[in-house]
Structure 1
């Protein structure tokens, strides 16, 4: 139970640590289920980034004298379960890729909220080194979200609708010879 801001920070760090460790376990299945090579690569790269983010959280917790392991993050548990259901229920191909991007962006938005909150709390407490570390993670989460949006808009969603990728739409638009 949180009785002060330090307790709230501890709960937030532990919850986020649980979320990230769950994501480390979930990303390989998402990568394997993806069919678009760029999406597979994005999931692979984000796995490496997420592993570094777990290490960063451990570093912050050590600096603050907080045990990183605590309760399971129920929100991430639900998001991971949702992605598993998508993999089981959506046929392989561009529609599954679109669904995986949606699931991944839900995860990113959750993480953006968590890291934004933690960074603000740490700054208010005067813990600038810890705040800077988590601000770095916050930036990575925003960058991943942006990458997923770009992939969805340029390739994945058009393919799911049976259209050529955005960068290929000029082909055939000049009329047939």
Structure 2
């Protein structure tokens, strides 16, 4: 059996727990990647944006640990394959020989793909929490979802100027 396939899923709460573990893995992987992306960024605003989001990501991880703990589960034990691929794309951009503005534009593209994945994941989790009557979970998950949306908007704002610089 592949990792994460051992737990039998019989109801929405089982799926909810499994998806929480998946997003926990995604956040842990992204946290590591954000530090590398911050170091690779040449634009101070972009570097600062990655560093700020790393701080938010730590808070999001703590929220997930709290929710999973209250469900009686362990947050680890599952690897988010989607984020593994998204992080690998970001790493490729870091390692590319590129003009600094072009690299920054590529880093934003990679980061926004990760943000969109997380916005989707948190939206789904929030919906599950609401259906399961877990109102407090839903509020915590909405906070994380809103933070991801705000980060995506900030990246879009930075991309406007950086993409123009990348034109050459």
2-side partners of 1:85 and 1:48: how far apart?
A: 24
Separation (CA, whole Å) in 2 of partners of 1:43 and 1:130: 26
For residues 54-88 of structure 1, give each alpha carbon's deviation from its aligned partner in whole angstroms, at most 9, with x where no partner exists: 00101111222221112110000011111111111
CA RMSD, 1 decimal? 0.9
Residues 86/64 of structure 1: CA separation in 2 closer, same or farther (3 Å cut): same
Q: 1:103-125: CA deviations, max 9, x gaps?
A: 00000000000000000000010
Q: Give the secondary-structure state (helix, strand or coil) at the position aligned to 1:35.
A: coil
TM-score normalised over the length of structure 2: 0.93
Structure ranking higher on relative contact order (CA contacts 8 Å, 6+ apart): 2
- Equivalent in 98, 103, 107 of residue 114 of structure 2: 107
User: How many matched pairs?
Assistant: 161
Higher Cα Rg: structure 1 or 2? 1
Task: Indicate yes or no: 2:157 matched with 1:161.
Answer: no
Q: Name structure 2 gaps, 5 residues minimum.
A: 1-7
- Whole-angstrom distance in 2 between the partners of 1:50 and 1:26: 11
2:16 alignment partner, SS class: helix
Aligned ranges 1:1-177 → 2 under 5 Å: 1-153=8-160, 155-162=161-168
Contact 1:63–1:130 (CA<8 Å) still a contact in 2?
Answer: no
Instruction: Tell me, in whole angstroms, the C-alpha distance in 1 between the residues paired with 2:117 and 2:157.
Output: 19
1:24 positional shift: 1.1
Query: In the TM superposition, what whole-angstrom CA distance separates every residue of 1:5-44 from its partner, at most 9, and x where no partner exists?
Result: 1111011000000000111111111001000010000001
